[in-house]
Amino acid sequence: MKYFLISLFVIGLVSISKSVEAQKEGDTWVIGYYSGGSPNYSVMHLDFRDLNMSINWHFDEVMHMSETAANICDSDGDAILWTNGMEIFGKYGEYIVDTIAYSDDVLSYWNWFNVEGIGPIGFPYHDGAIILPVPDHENEFMVLYHYMSVATQAYDGAIEYRMARIRMQSDSSFVTEYKDAVLEKYDFLSSTLSATRHANGRDWWVLAMEATGSKYFAYLLDPTGIKLHHVGEVDINLIEGTGQARFSPSGNLFARMDILDFEDGQNITLFSFDRCSGQLVYMDQFNTNFGFFTGVAFSPSDRYLYADDNRHLWQWDMSATDIASSQTLVDTFDGFIQPGWFEMDFGPLVNGPDGRIYIIPPAGSSEFIHVIDRPDELASECRFLQHHIDLKVPNGRSAPNLPNFRLGPLDGSPCDTLGLNNVPVSRWRFEEDQPGWRYDVRFTDLSFYDPQQWHWDFGDGETSDEIHPIHTFENGLYHVCLTVSNTYGQDSTCHWVEILPVSTEEENADISDDLSIAPNPFTDRIEIRSKRGDIRTTSMTIHDIHGREMMSHPAAPVPVVLHVPSWPSGMYLVTITEENGKVYQFKVMKI
């Protein structure tokens, strides 16, 4: 087996602009399907703070999730608040609000998804809620969501938007300032809420649209709260359909997906957006085949737009003179079927903080995620990996609705009035340029707050000023650093990159230090990681000191974080068996 080791030592100077309240509000995603103690189901916190995604199972969090999913993290990247559109939860699954968008009418939309014997399972609309920090109010958050009801234009619809204001206290408990407050009402809105940072670098634009029609509604969240800023119209009459609606990472572009019917297919409508004025302007519209729970997203640089129709993934070049004619097929679904379940084709898209785009399969309770590994490359080079991530437990189509928290002010614009500056923050990841060829390493810049210059030092005497360089190493250990800069400052971040000789399983049969388990002793969670840095399947069993089985899973992922606060203090034996039969055992102490 060929590989190179990824050592997760992060060394660097972090220059933080005072204009930035935090950096990691979107670094962990809360998704799932069902939880309540069963090892076959779990709420998952997908953690992007290291170089690779870590799948954290939270067995003790009792909640349900469907398509509506939104969360926010603290400054360290830990998820502290999330919602399924029907309830609001806090850290460790604490109930903050047990009913939002509620109606006691037995025929109401809320009660349709309040399943007897189970409880609220979450609203079945993507981008149906969003959570934003209240500007200049530390640890205060605005949870925005829709109120659904039967409507004349369709079988159901959003008839108003509501909000809850939540405050986290010094002891990490939460206080609800209010809930179900109604934003200014317009009948039958689209079921999607989208947000992007105002050009002043502090406030937030929240965008909603008519379901069918040409109107849009621009709300502004500032230190005084959220209010309707203006109602505008675009030069196209949109036809309502389910689907995502997303801003580009820069906030300058906006795309809305409308899934219509088998005959009319689905429309992807493209707009430009002015972060200063909040004006939305129609640009173009594309049509593809019909799909269920499909999605749309922009690449990190705004260069490309991606959308799918379940069976096909498409790319459009935003720099093309004729954007519509630039439509290119990225890939066609390969027919993969989740064992004992349905086909894992293409569904909603989500931008990851690691520069990748993740695609959630549209089948309910799916266990796989597709990945566009290099979305800023041409369709032929973007390295689309089908059913690449195996979560091992079901996800109920939940694709978190997260704004780009790493967007700063628009320096020099008419709305750059608060004296805030974009001081760049350096962040990057690396991987083999081609699988199995460890010497050529691709570096992907993830820096934010408007870097203008890049300087890579590869630790071997070679440097580069490219944004995403590919560098060839010899065997050895290298301290690689990226420095990014602009008019307002600079920042550097370094990682160790170790290139090992080609080896075989037989030659490495006596290596026992690939897996690690920490912390030890632990309090409420166990982190199992691999120096190899990949995501793979293992069999995992945990017994207490008396030999009682505490957890057993035949197909657990590595890396994984197990949250087990309810386990009693004492010694535990963790047994991990690789697919090749290799067995690891660890003794850990819970205090």
Looking at residues 463-489, what average pLDDT do you find? Answer: 95
The reported pLDDT for the residue numbered 10 is 34
CA dihedral 564, 569, 570, 573 (to 10 degrees): 0
The reported pLDDT for the residue numbered 181 is 92
Reported confidence tier of residue 459, pLDDT bands at 50, 70, 90: very high
Reported confidence tier of residue 156, pLDDT bands at 50, 70, 90: low
* Domain locations in the chain as residue ranges: 18-395, 428-499, 515-590
Spatial separation of the C-alpha atoms in residues 115 and 397, rounded to whole Å: 18
Residue located via tokens 């036809």: 239
pLDDT in tens, 26-66: 999 999 887 666 677 888 999 998 877 889 888 778 888 88
Computed over every residue of the chain, the mean pLDDT equals 87
Looking at residues 310-317, what average pLDDT do you find? Answer: 97
Spatial separation of the C-alpha atoms in residues 31 and 29, rounded to whole Å: 6
- Is it the case that residue 6 has pLDDT exceeding 50? no
Spatial separation of the C-alpha atoms in residues 425 and 408, rounded to whole Å: 11
pLDDT in tens, 528-557: 887 666 677 888 888 876 677 888 888 888
Spatial separation of the C-alpha atoms in residues 84 and 120, rounded to whole Å: 9
Percentage of the residues of the chain whose pLDDT score is greater than 70: 90
CA dihedral 45, 51, 52, 56 (to 10 degrees): -20
Q: In sequence order, which residues have a C-beta less than 8 Å from that of residue 497 and are 6 or more positions away?
A: 4, 6, 7, 430, 441, 459, 473, 477, 478, 479, 480
Q: How many other CB atoms are found less than 10 A from the CB of residue 470? A: 13
Is 428-499 in the same CATH topology as 18-395? no
Is it true that the peptide bond before 521 is cis, omega within 30 degrees of 0? yes
Percentage of the residues of the chain whose pLDDT score is greater than 90: 57
pLDDT in tens, 58-94: 877 888 888 899 999 998 999 999 999 999 999 878 8
The reported pLDDT for the residue numbered 191 is 84
Q: Which residues pair with 254 in a beta bridge?
A: 247, 271
Looking at residues 477-496, what average pLDDT do you find? Answer: 94
The reported pLDDT for the residue numbered 569 is 79
Q: Which two tokens stand for residue 566?
A: 């309810």
Higher pLDDT, 384 or 563: 384
- Is it the case that residue 20 has pLDDT exceeding 50? no
pLDDT in tens, 170-202: 888 999 999 999 987 666 678 899 999 999 999
CATH number, span 515-590: 2.60.40.1930
The reported pLDDT for the residue numbered 373 is 95
User: What are the angstrom distances between the C-alpha of 466 and each of 62, 87, 445, 479?
Assistant: 47, 46, 9, 18
8 A C-beta contact, residue 148 and residue 161: no
Higher pLDDT, 319 or 147: 319
The reported pLDDT for the residue numbered 37 is 60
Reported confidence tier of residue 16, pLDDT bands at 50, 70, 90: very low
Looking at residues 128-137, what average pLDDT do you find? Answer: 96
pLDDT in tens, 375-420: 999 999 999 999 999 898 899 899 999 999 999 999 999 999 999 9
Maximum average pLDDT range among 146-150, 517-521, 576-580: 576-580
Cα dihedral across residues 406, 412, 416, 422: positive or negative: positive
Question: Domain 18-395 adopts which CATH fold?
Answer: Methylamine Dehydrogenase; Chain H (2.130.10)
**Nearest residue to 574 via CA among 523, 538, 524:** 538
**Which amino acid appears at position 230 of this protein?**
H
Q: Which two tokens stand for residue 66?
A: 């469907």
Reported confidence tier of residue 450, pLDDT bands at 50, 70, 90: very high
Residue located via tokens 């069918």: 212
**Which amino acid appears at position 544 of this protein?**
D
Q: Which two tokens stand for residue 558?
A: 């590595």
Cα dihedral across residues 29, 32, 36, 39: positive or negative: negative
User: What are the angstrom distances between the C-alpha of 207 and each of 97, 192, 195, 285?
Assistant: 24, 9, 6, 19
Q: Using DSSP, state whether 166 is helix, strand or coil.
A: strand
Question: Domain 428-499 adopts which CATH fold?
Answer: Immunoglobulin-like (2.60.40)
Residue 151: burial class (beta carbons within 10 Å; 0-12, 13-18, 19+): middle
Q: What is the pTM of this model?
A: 0.83
DSSP line for 41-93: --EEEEE-SSSS-EEEEETT---B--S--EEEE-TTS-EEEEE-SS-EEEGGG
